[in-house]
Amino acid sequence: MLEFRNVSFSFAGRRGTVEVLHNVSFACKEDEIVAVIGPSGCGKSTLLSLAVGLRQPSGGEVLVDGRPAKGADRRLGMLFQQTTLLPWRSVVENVELGLEIRGEPKAARRRRAMELITQYGLAGFERKFPHALSGGMQKRTALAQTLAAEPTVLLLDEPFAALDAQTRVVIENDVVNICRSGKRTMLLVTHDIAEAISMADRVVVLSRRPATVKEIYEIPLSREAKSVGDVPGMPGFTQYFNRIWHALDISVAGADAAA
Amino acid sequence: MTARLSHRFVVIAGRLAVLVVILIGTELGVRYGVMSALLTQLSSGSFLTDSGITIFETLLGLFCGSLLGMTVGLVLPQLRFVSNVFEPFLMVLNGIPVIVIAPLFILWLGLGILSKIGISVYIVFFAMFIPVYTGSLRLDTTLVDALHVMGATRLQTFWKVIVPSSLPSVYTGLKIGSGLALIGAVIGEFVASRSGLGHMILYASGTLDTPTLYLGIITLAAFAAVLSFTIDALGPVLVPWRFSDEK
């Protein structure tokens, strides 16, 4: 379980203090997928960097299983938007990186990495360098790398944005299954409303900067659907889409910016 | 694949043709003088010693200068304060022409090979330091963040991300440095020395001994070529991921 409790974040900008997040509170329960969506630049990704200790909140606290998240935390695993595979390491060496950092013996971590490689359809590619793989396979490798450390909370920072539409649905579906079958908590940051509805049990809509929690929607579609790809065709999808779209208030923001 | 192979073949054939033209040209130019100079030098024994000394100075200068440049280039960006203080001094030092620094090394380290190695180290250092230093300032911070999230310590991040990501710059540094190492050694020998190919060439020039002069130049060129090919061959070892282009 991951909980944000009255979390605020601000930084010193050129023209005084910039407040990015203001009193943000919500929780992701065990076995629950929560999506955070908000206007561009509202600070959604900042939430994740606060959770993993890349930044410190200026107010409030982030709790993992009731205890404050203290910097790098074994219980947390993160999947980034950009590729974070080390280009000089082969697929298997990348997958075992997290275990290597923890000091696991070589034979054990290699065995674990090979299991994940087989599981995620990367068998036969374990000796290749990341750049020799397709975008989808790179993302799978990154996913295997994150899961190798067996985190209980998965943080996803728009990780599917760069994938083509078909590969994207396949990997989204994998991630949902991984989360559901392993009783994991997942927090997905995205700017894609359809993705949020298709994957998440709850969608948290943030306001423009300084971001506060504007609305939280309970969405049963993802749990009912057989696969992520089916969700947009389900009754109710369009209503949720429209409600979230209006909550985001993007058209007004665009008109303001243009004026 | 066949097109690439035949292209490679044509390139190699072209290079060989140029080499033959150069060899025939120089041979005609000195009318077998170089060969006789080689024979005289070989029998008198100083040519082999001179070559050996220059090669030794170059290799040691390249090795030590590269190691030093790489170490400073990698560690300096980690220490922001030290880096901010020293950067302008290093850049000014790099701007001073090596030819005016060379006499200083002779004064400090004497007429022997030590001063030549010193000069070589000095210019190789910058050839390595500058690409490695500027490269590590452009480091992909997402990779550092990712390792932090996995729980890596600063030292682990240094060895697992910062050092390997500098290897393409190290390769660049070696390529530039290998040429400069030889230049450094020969400049040192030109300024003041008792042996080495630079000394041989200078002496031959002073005694109007053109064949020995050519012999020196050809030997230096041959050594430079061998060195350059060796460094090129190091590429796939040093940065294997840049050389595997299979999809």
Question: What is the average per-residue pLDDT within A232-237?
Answer: 88
pLDDT at B33: 65
Out of A12-26, A201-215, B24-38, B115-129, which region has the weakest mean confidence (pLDDT)? B24-38
Asked if the model's pLDDT at residue B34 lies above 80, the reply is no
Asked if the model's pLDDT at residue A229 lies above 60, the reply is yes
- Residue B83's domain spans which residues? 38-239
Whether B148 and B157 have beta carbons less than 8 Å apart is answered as yes
- pLDDT per residue as tens digits for the range A164-173: 888 889 889 9
Whether B204 and B33 have beta carbons less than 8 Å apart is answered as no
User: Confidence class of residue B229 from pLDDT cuts 50, 70 and 90?
Assistant: very high
Nearest CA-CA distance, residue B177 and chain A, Å? 23
**CA A74/CA A47 separation, integer angstroms:** 18
* Interface list for A 67-96 with B (CB within 8 A): 72-74, 76-78, 80, 82, 84, 86-88
Question: Residue B14: inside a domain, yes or no?
Answer: no
Question: Residue B44: inside a domain, yes or no?
Answer: yes
Kindly give the residue spans of alpha helices, DSSP state H, lying in chain B.
2-30, 33-44, 46-75, 80-95, 98-109, 113-137, 141-149, 154-157, 163-191, 197-206, 210-238, 240-243
Query: Which single residue is written with the structure tokens 């909980």?
Result: A3
Domain boundaries, chain A: 1-75+151-240, 85-149
Asked if the model's pLDDT at residue B41 lies above 80, the reply is no
Asked if the model's pLDDT at residue A256 lies above 70, the reply is no
Percent of chain B with pLDDT over 90: 53
Termini Cα distance of chain B: 14
pLDDT at B176: 95
Question: What is the average per-residue pLDDT within B83-87?
Answer: 89
pLDDT at B131: 94
User: What ipTM describes this predicted complex?
Assistant: 0.85
Whether B79 and B158 have beta carbons less than 8 Å apart is answered as no
Nearest residue in A to B147, CA atom: A98
Quote the pTM value: 0.82
Question: Which of A125, A82, A77 has its CA nearest to residue A97?
Answer: A77
pLDDT at A99: 93
- pLDDT per residue as tens digits for the range A25-44: 999 988 899 999 988 878 88
Domains contained in chain B, number? 1
Q: How far is CA A22 from CA A8, A14, A210, in A?
A: 5, 20, 6
User: Confidence class of residue A251 from pLDDT cuts 50, 70 and 90?
Assistant: low
pLDDT at B157: 93
Nearest CA-CA distance, residue B142 and chain A, Å? 6
pLDDT at B166: 94
User: Confidence class of residue B139 from pLDDT cuts 50, 70 and 90?
Assistant: confident
Asked if the model's pLDDT at residue A257 lies above 70, the reply is no
Domain A1-75+151-240 has CATH 1.20.1090.10: no
Nearest residue in B to A69, CA atom: B149
Whether A83 and A130 have beta carbons less than 8 Å apart is answered as yes
Write the burial class of residue A176 (CB in 10 Å: 0-12 exposed, 13-18 middle, 19+ buried).
buried
Please give, one letter per residue, the 3-state secondary structure of chain A: CEEEEEEEEEEEECCEEEEEEEEEEEEECCCCEEEEECCCCCCHHHHHHHHCCCCCCCEEEEEECCEECCCCCCCEEEECCCCCCCCCCCHHHHHCHHHHHHCCCHHHHHHHHHHHHHHCCCCCCCCCCHHHCCHHHHHHHHHHHHHHCCCCEEEEECCCCCCCHHHHHHHHHHHHHHHHHCCCEEEEEECCHHHHHHHCCEEEEECCCCECEEEEEECCHHHHCCCHHHHHHCCCHHHHHHHHHHHHCHHHHHHHHHC
Termini Cα distance of chain A: 43
pLDDT at A83: 83
Q: Per the structure block, which two tokens stand in for B112?
A: 């022997």
pLDDT at A259: 41
Asked if the model's pLDDT at residue B215 lies above 90, the reply is no
- pLDDT per residue as tens digits for the range A203-217: 999 988 888 888 899
For residue B135, the domain's CATH number is: 1.10.3720.10
Question: Which of B142, B167, B239 is facing A80, going by the closest CB pair?
Answer: B142
- Which residues of chain B approach chain A closer than 8 Å at the C-beta? 142-143, 145-152, 156, 160-161, 164-165, 167, 239-241, 244, 246-247
Q: What is the mean pLDDT of chain A?
A: 88
With an 8 Å Cβ cutoff, are B142 and A87 in contact?
no
User: Confidence class of residue A258 from pLDDT cuts 50, 70 and 90?
Assistant: very low
Residue B149 exposure: Cα atoms within 13 Å on the Cβ side: 29
- pLDDT per residue as tens digits for the range B147-186: 998 989 999 999 999 999 999 999 999 999 999 999 999 9
Nearest CA-CA distance, residue A224 and chain B, Å? 33
Q: How far is CA A212 from CA A11, A28, A69, A192, A217, in A?
A: 16, 17, 21, 19, 15
pLDDT at B247: 42
Asked if the model's pLDDT at residue A116 lies above 70, the reply is yes
> Residues, chain B, total?
247
Residues whose CB falls within 8 Å of the CB of residue B242, separated by 6 or more in sequence, listed in order: B168, B235
pLDDT at A131: 92
Size of interface A-B (CB pairs under 8 A): 59
Asked if the model's pLDDT at residue A254 lies above 70, the reply is no
Backbone dihedral region of A225: left (phi > 0), alpha (psi from -120 to 50 degrees) or beta? Answer: beta
Question: Residue B108: inside a domain, yes or no?
Answer: yes
